[in-house]
Amino acid sequence: MFQTRMRTLRKRLLSRRLRTGMMPKSTDTGRPLERTRSLDQQYSRDQQRRRRDSDVQAEKQPPGKQHRETYEVSRLATQLYTISYLILFSIFGTLARLGLQALTYYPGAPMATSVVWPNFAGCIVMGFLSEDRKLFLNEWGTPNYHQQIQQAKKTRENEESGSSSPGSGQVDLAAAKKAHMATKKTIPLYIGLATGFCGSFTSFSSFIRDVFLALSNDLTTPDGGSTPMSRNGGYSFMALLAVILTTVSLSISGLFVGAHLAICLEPVMPSLPFFATRKVVDRISAFLAWGCWLGAVLLSIFPPDRSSHPGASETWRGRATFALVFAPLGCLGRFYASLYLNGRIASFPLGTFVVNIFGTAVLGMAWDLAHVPSGGVIGCQVLQGIEDGFCGCLTTVSTWASELTGLRRRHAYIYGFTSVIVALAFLVAIMGGLRWSHGFESLKCLH
């Protein structure tokens, strides 16, 4: 009887310990982003110190092993693969955004804003990648999260059988989870998926553009060119609030949906093999990325519909190819701006803020030039490519929403309101001057 009670007590203590910090949580929102960044910086310093120590040890090793260690920590190859993944996935993200807009932006659509569903879908992917612990399980330099879980199960079985005392061999899954997340941020493939694909799939500049169009009563579904119904300023302000609240709430909800999806699929999610990823996929991605970018340039210069329909409007080129040409430039600009500026102010992600505001201002100028209009069909298509490609990939909602959920509540409200208000003020100054003086004319490029 006494042994039965002791075993029951051990089970309760173990389950309580696992619930209060040993098992993974659904999200990391309980830890502020400022604290997470300081931990990431500390982790990076520790990794650099270990790398220096490993270099010293590598000098004492045989030539074969020394060459192997040097290859694994090659900084030049890592930068090349990272840039290649960013180029490749920025093209994929732009195509996904344009395709989803075409499917959800139609006459009679329940939501007039065209970018709300790409922002929601991109945030789902972002939440999944942030919470996933299985895809990059076999990567370098991280405490194996799966092994930590197995060790916790073994400890529980030993305590249930009475072969070990409660509390012996404790496993800190939270520390393993933290180290795994910090390591993922250094993997080129993960950077390509999170920064390249998700950042290009979502667009902050298009979101603010729709906010301004709602304010100016120009936000309508593609209904064959019908004139929007006139309304007073109060209704326009309500339309502005509807676009902001819908986009922000759906984007944040998408992050949590993606995180919960990653936790649900963790038992069946496969892991990418280290050898195939590092020595096969990375090298193939470099050729694919630069080849796809070159192909987009050639298709913009020599579109197939030009020869088949001479003198036509060339709708195929205006629909996507110019956007694919400008997309990698915006994605790379956002990556390096965030890399060098986001760490300056822990409570205010300066890099994301700068690229979102700058990209929104560029979109406003391109919108005005396209709606004057003065450049003909080709000029209009180039401007549309700048809006959808460069501005769409330079600005991001997935990272912005992730930062909002990670910051402390007061800092999150300051950061969120400042981003929306400043970006909208730029569009009021840039697009409002044309809209409320001469008005927007119809586009010359039919796409």
Identify the pLDDT of residue 34: 55
Averaged pLDDT, 1-11: 50
Averaged pLDDT, 412-429: 96
Question: Cα–chain-centroid distance for residue 409?
Answer: 21
Identify the pLDDT of residue 105: 84
> pLDDT tens-digit profile of 389-417?
999 999 999 999 999 999 999 999 999 99
Identify the pLDDT of residue 183: 75
Look at residue 64 and tell me whether its pLDDT is greater than 90: no
- Quickly state the pLDDT bin for 236 (edges 50, 70, 90): confident
Q: Which residue has the higher pLDDT, 34 or 79?
A: 79
Q: Which residue has the higher pLDDT, 398 or 62?
A: 398
314: left (phi over 0), alpha (psi -120 to 50) or beta: left
Residue 400 contacts residue 356 (beta carbons within 8 Å): yes
Averaged pLDDT, 267-291: 88
Residue 253 contacts residue 27 (beta carbons within 8 Å): no
Identify the pLDDT of residue 336: 95
**What average pLDDT does the chain have?**
78
Identify the pLDDT of residue 431: 92
DSSP 298-361: HHHHS-HHHHHSTTS--HHIIIIIHHHHHHHHHHHHHHHHHHHHTTT-TTS-HHHHHHHHHHHH
- Quickly state the pLDDT bin for 325 (edges 50, 70, 90): very high
∠ CA 356-362-366, rounded to 5°: 140
Where do the structural domains in the chain lie, given as residue ranges? 1-30+142-183, 75-139+187-435
* Least reliable range by pLDDT among 90-99, 236-245, 275-284, 307-316: 307-316
DSSP 383-428: HHHIIIIIIHHHS-SHHHHHHHHHS-HHHHHHHHHHHHHHHHHHHH
* Least reliable range by pLDDT among 5-19, 196-210, 219-233, 414-428: 5-19
Identify the pLDDT of residue 380: 84
Look at residue 68 and tell me whether its pLDDT is greater than 50: no
Look at residue 222 and tell me whether its pLDDT is greater than 50: yes
Neighbours of 62 (CB within 10 A): 9
Look at residue 9 and tell me whether its pLDDT is greater than 50: no
Identify the pLDDT of residue 84: 95
Identify the pLDDT of residue 91: 96
Tokens of 309: 């329909």
Q: Which of 48-62, 134-148, 211-225, 359-373 has the highest mean pLDDT?
A: 359-373
Identify the pLDDT of residue 356: 97
Identify the pLDDT of residue 66: 44
- Quickly state the pLDDT bin for 2 (edges 50, 70, 90): very low
Neighbours of 341 (CB within 10 A): 16
Identify the pLDDT of residue 301: 84
Averaged pLDDT, 317-345: 90
299 — phi, psi (to 5°)?
Answer: -70, -30
Tokens of 187: 């993997």
Look at residue 230 and tell me whether its pLDDT is greater than 80: no
- Quickly state the pLDDT bin for 217 (edges 50, 70, 90): confident
Helix H or strand E encompassing 216: none
Report d(CA 297, CA 326) in Å as an integer. 9
∠ CA 427-432-433, rounded to 5°: 120
> pLDDT tens-digit profile of 145-163?
555 556 666 666 666 666 5
Identify the pLDDT of residue 219: 80
